[in-house]
Amino acid sequence: MSVRPNLTREDWIHAAQQVLVKGGVDAVRVDTLAKELNITRGSFYYHFKSRNELLEGILGGWRTRATEDVILHLSDAQTTPQQQLQRLMELPLHGQTAKEAAAIELAIRAWARRDEHARQAIDEVDRYRLSYIKGLLLQAGVEAQDASDRAYLIYAYQISLSLLNNNEPAGERLSRNTRLAELLVPTAQRA
C-alpha cells in the first residue's frame, strides 16, 4: 500500500460514511478504511488524531451537507416561503442523490440509538430543521401552534420517505407530494 498524494480529510469522511451505511458505526475502523482506500494508516493519522475525531467528522459533514447547505440553498433562491417549503418537500424525491442522503441519515439515526454523542447531533439537527420549516410557515402567515404542528408533519413526512419502498413510480410519488404540500403549505402566494 502507498499513500495517495491527493487523499483528503473529506475522502476519509466519505469512505467512513459508506462503511457506516453498509455496516454500522462498529464497522467504521481505521484499518478497514485504510484497506478500502488502499492506503496506509499513516494517512489517516495525518488528517485525524483518533477514530473519535473521524466520527465527529462524519456527524459534522452530515450536518453541514444535509441541513445547513440545504437551508442556505433554499434561502438564497429568492423565492417565497411557500416555494421554499414545496422545494423542501420535493428533496426526498430527487433520485439517487436523495437515496444516498437517506441512507446516510438512516445510518446516523441508527448509530444515535446507542450513542449519546450521535443522539445529541441528531437532536440538534432535528431542532434546526423543524425551526426552519416552522419559520417558513410563520412567514407564510400560519399561526404559531399550527406552524409547529405542520412543521412536524412536513418533517416526519420527509424522514418517512427514506423508510418507505421507493419502487413506486416517480410520477406517483411526485403527485402525492404535491397533494400533501397543498394540505400542509398555505396556498396564499404559492407559486
For 43-68, what is each residue's pLDDT tens digit? 899 999 999 999 999 999 999 999 99
Name the residue among 64, 79, 95, 185 with its Cα closest to residue 133: 185
The answer to whether position 189 is within a domain reads: no
Reply yes or no on whether the pLDDT at 191 is more than 70: no
- CA 103/CA 37 separation, integer angstroms: 21
Q: Which three cell numbers stand for residue 96?
A: 439517487
The average pLDDT across 4-28 equals: 90
**Cα–Cα distance for residue pair 113/103, rounded to 1 Å:** 16
Concatenated DSSP letters for 24-42? -GGG--HHHHHHHHTS-HH
Whether residue 1 sits in one domain with residue 32: yes
Does residue 114 sit in the same domain as residue 84? yes
Average pLDDT over residues 31-48: 89
Domain that holds residue 66: 61-184
**44 plus 80 within the same structural domain:** no
174 in the same domain as 80:
yes
**Predicted pLDDT of residue 36:** 87
Do 76 and 164 fall into the same domain?
yes
Q: Clarify whether residues 33 and 86 are in a common domain.
A: no
Does residue 191 fall inside a structural domain? no
Whole-structure pTM value? 0.88
What contacts 31, CB < 8 A, 6 or more positions away?
A: 41
Nearest to 157 by CA among 168, 146, 149: 149
Residues 44 and 65 in one domain: no
CA distance 70 to 178: 20
Cell readout for 182 is: 397543498
C-alpha cell recorded at residue 79: 423565492
For residue 41, give the CATH number of its domain.
1.10.10.60
Per-residue model confidence (pLDDT) at position 2 = 46
Please tell me whether residues 31 and 85 are part of one structural domain: no
Domain assignment present for 142: yes
With 90 as the cut, is the pLDDT of residue 17 above it? yes
Distance CA 119, CA 7 (A): 30
- Give pLDDT tens digits for 75-107: 888 889 999 998 899 888 877 888 899 999 999
